[in-house]
Amino acid sequence: MDRRKFMTAGVVGTAALAAPHVARAQESFNWKMTNSYGPGSPFYVTGPGSPTDFCEMVKTMSDGRLNIQHFAAGELIPAFEGFDAVSAGTVEMNCSNAYFWAGKVPAAQFFTCVPFGLSFQGQNAWIYHGGGLALWEELYAPFNLVPMPIGNTGVQMTGWFRKPIEKVEDFQGLKMRIPGLAGKVYAKLGVDVKLLPGGEIFPALERGVIDAAEFVGPYQDRRLGLQKAAKYYYTTGWHEPNNVTELIVNKAAWDSLPADLQAIVRRAAAACNVLSHTWCEAVNSEALDELVAKEGVIAGPLPTEVVAKLRDVTTTTLDELAGSDPAVKKVYDAFKAFKAKHDKWAGISEAVFQTQIRV
């Protein structure tokens, strides 16, 4: 009898100790996610691997324990206020691109893309396995934010121009919508750089408020109607060889999640990173063909000498930024070191495939 009492007491005691953990594991959460892109935007809001797809994944994978309500730009807050809203805890999550926060955190731009930088494969290798994510988290920690990638467009198009670019001097005085580090490079060549949300690009280009604009790629650009406002479409994606979509989570909200829900969020975001990129790869070719064949678009690469100048100015621009900001220098040095190693492999893998094996 004494033994039975002892064992019963032990079971009851163990259950009592486990109860808080079980209760926390079964707790449900209702969150809000905002977005820098407008309602219905493919890739950025809807479609395979999009933020709304992510919300559905998380709900299903968590058996309804984590429900995330998505709000496109303007539905809850303006397009570019997500960083501050998540930092303050007004909402729990936001999807955007880190280079939109350049005015607050200049080094954040490296976690969207770097001109003449890494491919989709290389950028993800750096973030997930080369120390990039740890740097990103360190950079955002003072703002109470937990960042991670949730999408990638792959290589983007140089953009739309109302007049052809035949020489470097053609950039002088050009008014162009272009975000991120590439905007700083263009500015050194005399471009009047503008930062506009996606929904404002077409009317600005159509009315001549801007002379050129970069957005994403053929499918998305056609949806905005940019081909109706400009006909010269340059294909050299020097400025964005990949483009990371950022998910940020309020740190206190993140810490409130049990470990299994944190794991679900990270895995769902990683799945969307792949699904969104492969969707872009699947739809862009046909869209570009139609733009040229049916819309009268003139598509082609920038002149070689123009690209060479852009490369030189990019190096100067990045070195200057690193020299003026310790955080930028830390991230840039880490990025360069990883790129140097990755370039060796890319040179005998992807580069060889593109130039020698692919027909």
Strand partners, 147: 248
Instruction: Give the per-residue pLDDT at 254.
Output: 98
Q: Give the residue range(s) of CATH 3.40.190.10 domains in the chain.
A: 159-241+284-326
Instruction: Give the per-residue pLDDT at 359.
Output: 56
Q: Give the residue range(s) of CATH 3.40.190.170 domains in the chain.
A: 27-151+244-282
Tell me the average pLDDT across 161-188.
97
Residue with tokens 């940020």: 248
Does residue 182 have a pLDDT over 60?
Answer: yes
* The CATH number fitting domain 27-151+244-282, selected from 3.40.50.740, 3.90.280.10, 2.40.160.20, 3.40.190.170: 3.40.190.170
Instruction: Give the per-residue pLDDT at 52.
Output: 98
Q: Report the interhelical angle of 120-129 vs 326-348 (nearest 10°).
A: 120
Tell me the average pLDDT across 160-184.
97
For the stretch 70-115, pLDDT in tens is: 999 999 999 999 999 999 999 999 999 999 999 999 999 999 999 9
Spatial CA neighbour of 97 closest among 4, 25, 182: 182
For the chain, give the mean pLDDT: 93
Tell me the average pLDDT across 186-209.
96
Number of other CB atoms surrounding residue 312 within 10 Å: 12
Instruction: Give the per-residue pLDDT at 356.
Output: 74
Render 155-215 in DSSP notation, one character per residue: S---EEESS---SGGGGTT-EEE--HHHHHHHHHTT-EEE---GGGHHHHHHHTS-SEE--
For the stretch 294-312, pLDDT in tens is: 999 999 999 999 999 999 9
For the stretch 119-128, pLDDT in tens is: 999 999 999 9
Q: Which fold has domain 159-241+284-326?
A: D-Maltodextrin-Binding Protein; domain 2 (3.40.190)
Spatial CA neighbour of 265 closest among 276, 279, 280, 254: 254
Sign of CA dihedral 221, 225, 226, 230: positive
Strand pairing class (66-71; 212-213)? unpaired
**DSSP 8-state symbol, 90:** S
Instruction: Give the per-residue pLDDT at 7.
Output: 45
Instruction: Give the per-residue pLDDT at 236.
Output: 83
